[in-house]
Amino acid sequence: MYSLDPDFLRTFLAISETGSFGAAGEKVNKTQSTVSAQMKRLEEIVGVNLFEKEGRRNILTVEGHKLLEYAASMVRLNDEALHAFRPPEVTGNIKVGAIDEYAQAFFPEVLDSFTKAQPGVLVSVTTSTSTILKAGLAAGEFDAVFVSCHSGDADIELLRIDQLHWIGGEGHNLHYNDPLPLAAWSEGCSWREMAQAALAKHGRSVRLAFSTSNAALMTTTLKRGLGVTVAPRWFVSEGLRVIEELDAKCPLGRAEIGVKRKPGTNPAREAFIAHLQQHLRLSALAA
C-alpha cells in the first residue's frame, strides 16, 4: 500500500489554487521541475490524470477534484497534528470582530481547531457590520477585525475572494417578479451595494423587501420566499439555492474579505490570523 506524502499534497493544493506549476512551486518553496516530478509521481500513485489544460492554466480533472477533498483534509490534519506539539505556544487574550456572514459560516470550525492548536489563547468574537467593526478597531476595542474590503483598500490584508451569486429559497421563483423583491444586507454592506449596482446596470427594477445583517435571520427569510439576496456559494444551506437564471442576467462581482489590525505587534493575534487564513484557503478549494 502506497502513501500520499502530505508534502506532495501541499504542492497539489498549491497548483489547484494557482493553476500553474511554476507559481505553485514558489508558494511551497520548490522549483518548477520538482513540482512537475512530484505531480508525475502523484498521478502514478493514484493511477489517474489529475490535470488538464484550459488555455494556459492547469485545471483539475474530475479525479483531481476527488483527490482535492482528501488532500485538503489530510494537509489540515497534518498541520493540526504538528501544531499540537510545537511547544512555542503563544498565550494571551485577543478580541476580534467579524462580519456576521463569515463568522457564522467559518468560525465554529476555526475556533474549534484553533483552541486545540493554541490552548493558551482565549479568543473573544464579536460580530457586526464592517463599518461598525472598523470604528471599534479605531477605538481600540479589537485586536483585529475581519471585514469586507474593496480592492483598493489600504492597510487591509486580503484573506479571501468569493464570487457572489443570487440566492433564494428552494421552491421559490421570485426572480420572475418585477420589481425584484430584495432581501438586502444592512446599509453599508458591500454585498448589498454590489447587488444594487448590478440590478441598476441591467435596468432591473427592485423593491426592498427586507434588510438584516444577521446571517441566520437572512436564511430563514429566504426559505420563506420573502425575497432574494446575494452571497457566496458557501452561504447556501439546506433549503436555499443559487438562482442561476438571475446570475446570468445580472452577473455579480466578487466579495473580498480581509483583516485589519490594531497597531502594534501581538503574537496571539498573528497566530489566530494565520490559522484563519489557512482555513479559508483550504475551504475555498472545494468551491
C-alpha cell at 269: 493575534
175 binds, among DNA, a copy of itself, none (CB under 5 to 8 A by kind): none
Confirm or reject binding of residue 47 to DNA (CB under 7 A). Answer: no
Residues 230-259 that bind DNA (CB under 7 A): none
| Min CB(77)–a copy of itself separation in Å | 5
Exposed / middle / buried, residue 61 (Cβ in 10 Å: 0-12, 13-18, 19+): middle
> Which of 6, 41, 13 is closest to 27 using CA atoms?
13
Q: Binding residue for a copy of itself (CB under 8 A) from 71, 144, 189, 255?
A: 71
Confirm or reject binding of residue 7 to DNA (CB under 7 A). Answer: yes
Confirm or reject binding of residue 277 to a copy of itself (CB under 8 A). Answer: no
Confirm or reject binding of residue 81 to a copy of itself (CB under 8 A). Answer: yes
CA angle 259, 118, 126 (to 5 degrees): 40
Dihedral angle at the C-alpha atoms of 196, 193, 195, 202, nearest 10 degrees? 40
Contact yes or no for 123/159 (Cβ under 8 A): no
Residues 6+ away with beta carbon under 8 Å from 257: 99, 102, 146, 147, 148, 149, 158, 159, 160, 162, 280
Confirm or reject binding of residue 263 to a copy of itself (CB under 8 A). Answer: no
* Cα–Cα distance measured from residue 210 to residue 283, given in angstroms and rounded to the nearest whole number: 30
Q: Binding residue for a copy of itself (CB under 8 A) from 37, 62, 84, 197?
A: 84
Q: Binding residue for a copy of itself (CB under 8 A) from 26, 79, 89, 153?
A: 79
> How many residues at the interface with a copy of itself, by CB under 8 A?
29
Q: Binding residue for a copy of itself (CB under 8 A) from 26, 80, 89, 270?
A: 80
Q: Binding residue for DNA (CB under 7 A) from 10, 30, 160, 269?
A: 30
* Cα–Cα distance measured from residue 183 to residue 185, given in angstroms and rounded to the nearest whole number: 7
Confirm or reject binding of residue 10 to DNA (CB under 7 A). Answer: no
- What is the pattern of x (binds a copy of itself, CB under 8 A) and - over residues 24-63? ---------------------xxxx--------------x
| Distance spanning both ends of the chain, measured CA to CA | 30
Kindly list the residues in this chain that would bind DNA in the complex (CB under 7 A): 7, 19-23, 29-34, 36-41, 53, 55-56, 58
For a copy of itself, the binding residues (CB under 8 A) are 1-7, 10, 45-48, 63, 66-67, 70-71, 73-74, 77-82, 84-87
